[in-house]
Structure 1
Amino acid sequence: MFAALACVAMAAQGESETDRPSGASGLRVSGFGSIGLAHVDAPVGWGYRRELTQGGSDSRWRHDVDTRLGVQFNYSVSSQFELVAQAIARKRGSYAGGSDTLEWAYAAYRPTADWTVRIGRVNLDAFLMADYRNVGYGFMAARPPVELYAMLPTALDGADVARSWFQGNAQWRAKLMLGTAQIGDFHTAPPGRVRDIVGVMMSREEAGLLVRASASRTRIELDLGSAQAAVDALGQLGSLPIPPVADQARQLRERLGASDIWATFLELGLRYELGDWQWSAELVRISAAPLVRQLSAYATVGRRLSDWTPFIGYGRTRDAMPVTPLPAWQAVLTPVLGPAGAAQSQMLGTLITDAVNRSRVQQSGWSLGTRWDFHPQAALKLQWDRIRVDAGGPGLWTGADVAAAKAHVATAVVDFIF
């Protein structure tokens, strides 16, 4: 069981929050890493990413998509108190801050074997792979399904409280999460923040089957920055007594200037690991209109054959917010604003509409591959992805236009732990 093996091998990394030996103390150092090479066959100029925090590149051969190195320090003050820090070196977007390298930095207190309180920067346990999404050794595929995990925040700046207990042969876990997190495309603009996060998670595991669900409510704040002037211009166009222009300008202003809006994240995850069969599936719904209304899901299944585990997976994400039609303002605005003013307004509307549509995510993909556990602490993965991007849905790519497209990604990656 890959996830269980990763947790056992990296017990020093704090993946498990219970059953620590009584009186444990001292410093422990451990880590993980991935060395990957990917070949991307996509439209000219399109840059593939496994997550929105990465920078873009339209190169065919890529070593930076999956390659990363993480190290973690666990200092046990006593059997009840522990300090944890984890840093990850990987490709990041141009707007990533220096502190983003620090994935975890928290103090943990365990008053009893069943309860854990963590304060600081912790993993956001609102998704199935939240504990180990950067630890490639802990899952079958070359990378977490991009159709879902590419858009999700990783770290929570705040606190969480968790309790574990047994009922018969089933282990239950419940967690309350509070804090803030970064969100957005780190390649194109400064990241926004999801603030006032209040989240709960409940899971049940028995006989190799894990079922979990989570719900989070948060407030999204985006850094409008240089876009503020465009937002103000759209506000002026929205006040004109020309309904076709005013209505569309107000809609664009709502999409571009959306900030300080409330969002809901709902998640249901399943993982089955028993004997030779392993599968996982997850569904996430994000409701944050007028910014986004997304439904994302994936399923992956594999069967272990000695040291090899062939697998197949499918992922899909859909945005219920409609594609915004290109404005046709110049002719009707010319008598009001003059030729120059009308041309400028038309250009503004076209550019903003294009930016809004480029940010939508409407994508699906099949994955086929195999994993070879050639060492107790290392595995080789070979994977081929066939990706379909619908018109007006290229938000996971850099340099993409709004036309429908197909792409293929071939990946070889070695994951290891130490």
Structure 2
Amino acid sequence: MRHKTSAHLCSRARGLLAGLVVVAWAGTAQGQEADGRPVGPAALRFSGFGTLGLSHVDAPAGWGFRRELTQSGSGQSWRYDIDTRLGAQVNYSLGSQFELVAQVIARKRGAYASLGDAVEWAYASYRPDADWTLRAGRVNVDAFLMADYRNVGYGFMMVRPPVELYSQLPTTLDGADVSRSWLVGEVQWRAKLMAGTAHVGDLQTGKPSRVRAVAGGMVSREEGGLLLRASVSHARIDLDQTSIRAALTGLDQLGALPVPAVADQARALRERLGASNVGAMFWELGVRQELSDWQWSAEFVRVSARPVTMDDAAYATLGRRLGDFTPYVGYGRASNSIAPLPVPDWQAPLTPVVGAAGAAPAQQLGDTVVAALNNARLQQSTWTLGVRWDFHPQAALKLQWDHVRVRPSGSALWTGSGGQGGSADIATAVVDFIF
């Protein structure tokens, strides 16, 4: 029971962070949808993108690094599956106002994933004029700076989006959105509203959790290469409890015992472990700017969903173009403001009441639940150094080194860590391309 409970709880906390994604919008080149301008007569357009990557992970024994929580982890040192992916997209325009878009991505996914998860986009869009766009179906997510192209490595400077923030976020939303863009002088404004559902999960769970009643909005302002944006949303998180029902029953029984020290702790753990239909608020602020040969970006995210989690994540990147080369540096950090739970001491007070034979499994249950909840916390930071070489108009080589520091009870982004703290170094080479 220890393994199943721990794995499930790790997934639940990750799923909560992943599920609080709101507004959707498509619109970049390089394997993205049309750029928002009215299209002409009916036409079919095909495009694609991909990444070939190889990484060396120097981490504590058994630790598995993941770019995204939807990936499976591996304790191997040499990895090709972290960043490698291949995507294809079809756009079919039906005159100047209607368009059908589909995008499929082949990449490493967790054991819970179904074939349908490879479909990133599958939606119909309607543009009554040049300013308004309405979409329905499976749409991409635009609650973040890199949301439109986070799978298109050619479209951004680094090897991968900063994991402290982007590893926890799903890429698709099943529902509808409406957006409007307009010019005020030289300033480009965009505003978006959305509603729908999403599903999240992890390789260690059999059933992904649902994120329902998602509703939110985003506004952005762009002028002279400077983009500012903010988003806010609310959602209800339905967490699958199939694998933890026995643990919940055990905590209910302990909570009814006439031993206040044990009963109070058991009820508190039961509230954390059994939380479902959780209301969650999400806030995001982002900025990106290009000045001549310099480019930089920064982003901050806060997720508030007590009693499950209270998380902050942020990153900053800076790069400078030198001909075809762009050296860069970055820093990312994620933290949880809910303190780690102490290990319960139940065996001694329970022995006089239920005997040693009954106290031992109760203590084991408490240890397992606390370990699982603590292991689902995220407390880590990453320094990044790298260089991008645009050796071809449609391809780029990137070399990157990441130094990661993980605090105890903060290793939710790693598999096989057992909640331990430590540090790791990741060296990666990728070739990103579009076609």
1:165 CA drift (Å)? 0.3
Q: 1:348-398: CA deviations, max 9, x gaps?
A: 111111111111110101000000000001000000000000011000000
Q: Which residue of 1 aligns with 2:28?
A: 7
- Cα RMSD after superposing both structures: 1.2
The one of the two structures with greater contact order (alpha-carbon pairs below 8 A, sep at least 6) is 2
Matches within 5 A, 1:122-137: 122-137=139-154
Query: Deviation of residue 210 (structure 1)?
Result: 0.3
Alignment partner for residue 277 of structure 2, among 245, 251, 260? 260
CA drift at 1:282: 0.3
Q: Which of these residues, 38, 41, 56, is aligned with residue 20 of structure 1?
A: 38
2:224 corresponding residue in structure 1: 207
AA of the residue aligned to 2:233:
S
Structure 1 ranges of 4+ moved more than 4 A:
none
Q: For 1:266 and 1:175, how far apart are their aligned partners in 2?
A: 15
CA distance in 1, matches of 2:346, 2:166: 38
Q: Is the 8 A contact 2:38 2:97 kept in 1?
A: no
Alignment-derived partner of residue 80 in structure 1: 97
Query: What secondary structure sits across from 1:56 in the alignment?
Result: coil
**Counterpart amino acid of residue 88 in structure 2:** V
1:69 is aligned to 86
1:163 equivalent in structure 2: 180
Matched, 1:237 2:254: yes
Partner of 1:284: 301
CA distance in 2, matches of 1:280, 1:401: 33
One-letter identity of the residue aligned with 1:63 = Y
**TM-aligned CA deviation for residue 167 of structure 1:** 0.4
Greater Cα offset, 239-248 or 76-85: 239-248
Judged with a 3 Å threshold, the aligned counterparts in structure 2 of structure 1 residues 235 and 137 are, in CA distance, closer, same or farther, namely: same
| 1:78 Cα offset (Å) | 1.7
Deviations 1:124-154 (A, max 9, x none): 2111111001000110000000000111121
Match status 1:90 vs 2:102: no
Q: CA deviation at 1:41?
A: 0.5
Q: How does 1:102-181 map to 2 (within 5 A)?
A: 102-181=119-198
Give 1:189 deviation, angstroms: 4.9
2:65 match: secondary structure: coil
1:19-418 equivalences in 2 (<5 Å): 19-21=37-39, 23-418=40-435
How far apart are residue 231 of structure 1 and its match? Answer: 1.1
User: Using a 3 Å threshold, how does the CA distance of structure 1 residues 15 and 409 change in structure 2: closer, same or farther?
Assistant: farther
Structure 1 residues 12-59: Cα deviation after superposition (integer angstroms, max 9, x where no partner):
x3163x1133x2422111111000000000000100001100011110
Q: Is the 8 A contact 1:172 1:203 kept in 2?
A: yes
Which amino acid in the other structure matches residue 304 of structure 2? S
| CA contact 2:200–2:209 (8 Å) conserved in 1 | yes
Name the CA distance, whole Å, in 2 between partners of 1:327 and 1:225.
Answer: 24
- TM-superposed CA distance for 1:188, in Å, is 4.1
Residue 336 of structure 1, CA deviation: 1.5
Once the two structures are TM-superposed, the CA of residue 243 in structure 1 deviates from its matched residue by 1.9
Q: How big is each residue's C-alpha offset from its partner over 1:75-102, in whole Å with a ceiling of 9 and x where there is no partner?
A: 1122111111111000001111221111
* 1:274 positional shift: 2.9
- 1:271, CA displacement in angstroms? 0.5
In the alignment, the residues of structure 2 paired with residue 130 and residue 398 of structure 1 have an alpha-carbon distance, to the nearest angstrom, of 25
Asked if structure 1 preserves the Cα contact closer than 8 Å seen for 2:30 and 2:152, the reply is no
Distance in 1, matches of 2:34 and 2:244, equals: 41
Equivalent-residue separation in structure 2 for 1:239 and 1:83 (angstroms): 57
Aligned-residue offset at 1:258: 1.4
Tell me the CA shift for residue 184 of structure 1. Answer: 3.9
Q: Identity, % of aligned pairs?
A: 63
AA matched with 2:269: L
Query: Residues 30 and 48 of structure 2 are in contact (CA less than 8 Å); yes or no, is this contact kept in structure 1?
Result: no
The corresponding residue for 2:10 is none
CA contact (8 A) 1:25 1:78 kept: yes
Pairwise CA distance, 1:8: 3.7
| Structure 1, gaps ≥5 residues long | 1-5
1:9 Cα shift?
Answer: 4.2
Q: Deviations over 1:194-230 (max 9, x none)?
A: 1100010000000000000000100011111121121
Q: What is the rounded CA distance, in whole Å, between the counterparts of 2:135 and 2:362 in structure 1? A: 51
